[in-house]
Structure formats: C-alpha cells, structure tokens
Amino acid sequence: QPTNTSTMAKTSIKPPASPFFAPSTPRKLVKVSTPGGTSRLIKKESSQTKENKSTVAGATSNLVNAIIGAGIVGIPYAIKECGLVAGIILVVLCAILTEKSLRVLVDTAKHVDVPSYETLFESTYGSAGFYFISVNMLIMAYGGCLSYLTIIKDTLPILLGVERGDVGMERAILVVSTMAIILPISMQRDMADLAKTSKISVIFQCFMVLVVVIFSPVSETLEENGGLLAIA
C-alpha cells in the first residue's frame, strides 16, 4: 500500500507552469532552532523539488543591478560638490569598505551556519534583532522603490515627448509602466528568474554611461528637442 501511494504521488505531481504560481510539489513544516535561541517553523521542500539556480553571469548581473541602483543618478552631483580628486577618493573608499563588509558578512554566516542576513542578525541579537533588521530592510526597499518610481515619472514622459506640467499623462505613463513591467518582474518567486532582466538592465546602464561620456557636455537637453521620438 505505501508503494502504491508513493507511485501515485510521483505521477500526479507536476512542476508549476508559471513562475508566478506557488509550487505544486508537496511541502511540510519543520521546526528549526536558530543560533539566537528561538524556534520557528519553516517549509521543507520535497525531494522532488529542484532548486532554481542561475549561472555565474546571471548572479553577477543580479548583484550589479542591486548595487548600481538609483544612487548612480546622484553620484555625479556628489562628485561635483566634493571636487574631482576628493570625489574619486571617496568612491574608491566606499568600494573598499563595501567589499570588506560583504566578506565579513559571508565569513560570519559560514561560521555560525546561517543562510540569510536576518538569521545572521538574530544569531547575535536574538529575536529582537531579527525583527529589527527585517523592518529596516523593508524601509530601505520601500525607499528604493519610491526613488525608482520618481525617476520613472520624471524621465519617461520626457523621452516620450510629453509636455512638462501634463500631470494626468505623467501619472498615466507611471501607472502603465509600473503595472505592465515592474509588477510582473517583482512577482517572480526566485531571484534566479531575474537574471535575464538584470543582464538587460546592466547593458542599458553601461549604454547610458557611454552616451554621457560621448556627448557631454551638451548644450541642449532631450526635453528641448521634443523627446526621444522627435529625435528618432
């Protein structure tokens, strides 16, 4: 009887057709203890569930896309205010400190055997630390989301040739671009599924920097020329 049941389970289970849907493979809750001394129930994947992994190029694109965010827009202004020499020194110093902090986090996580940043914080400060860092990560992600939406609202209407002050059209472009592009990408269940979009994003970022280097300084803005469509 157990053999027949397991055979029926194997034949009836199919992988999800879309990455947006919850996995159809069976899961069970397992009680685990963290280094901080708290216990929680986690979902244990079935042996039939295959972990979705990305390539080295995909993981690198995801990391670069996460690091080079909305702050890239403010770096030129910051260097202008600091001066060229001091600005370059500060950028290099920040890069060194970031690389050092990432290595410390990874080595510490391996030492205490935890899989995530939240549980690493919990292993040091207990359950209060876990909730504290989770709330801070939520606030940081929310702020980044708002900055991206603000940049889209300010730049995309200019590229499409929308007159400045047309609030209704600007809001419509923001809503359509958010619902049609940003929302589906944000609903992916696995970071590995974002590898392709991250590669495209990195290519566009490099292209944007190349355009600025080639055509700067410019005497006329894209808005003065009627937008991207008028130039094309």
For the residues 207-219, what does the mean pLDDT come to? 74
Least confident stretch, 11-20, 57-66, 157-166: 11-20
- Do the Cβ atoms of 122 and 134 come closer than 8 Å? no
What rounded mean pLDDT belongs to the chain?
75
Q: What is the pLDDT, as a whole number, of residue 84?
A: 87
Q: Tell me the whole-structure pTM to 2 decimals.
A: 0.58
Ramachandran region of residue 59, left (φ > 0), alpha (ψ -120 to 50) or beta?
A: alpha
Q: What is the pLDDT, as a whole number, of residue 28?
A: 60
Cα 104 to the center of its chain, rounded Å: 21
Q: What is the pLDDT, as a whole number, of residue 44?
A: 59
Q: What is the pLDDT, as a whole number, of residue 89?
A: 94
Q: What is the pLDDT, as a whole number, of residue 132?
A: 92
Measured distance CA(123)–CA(136) in Å, rounded: 17
127 pLDDT above the threshold of 70: yes
Q: How far is CA 71 from each of CA 67, 75, 78, 221, rounded to the nearest angstrom?
A: 9, 6, 10, 22
Measured distance CA(43)–CA(31) in Å, rounded: 9
Range 119-155 burial, b when 16+ CB lie within 10 A, else e: bbbbbeebeebbeebeeeeeeeeeeeeeeeeeebbee
Q: Which of 57-71, 78-92, 142-156, 181-195 has the highest mean pLDDT?
A: 78-92
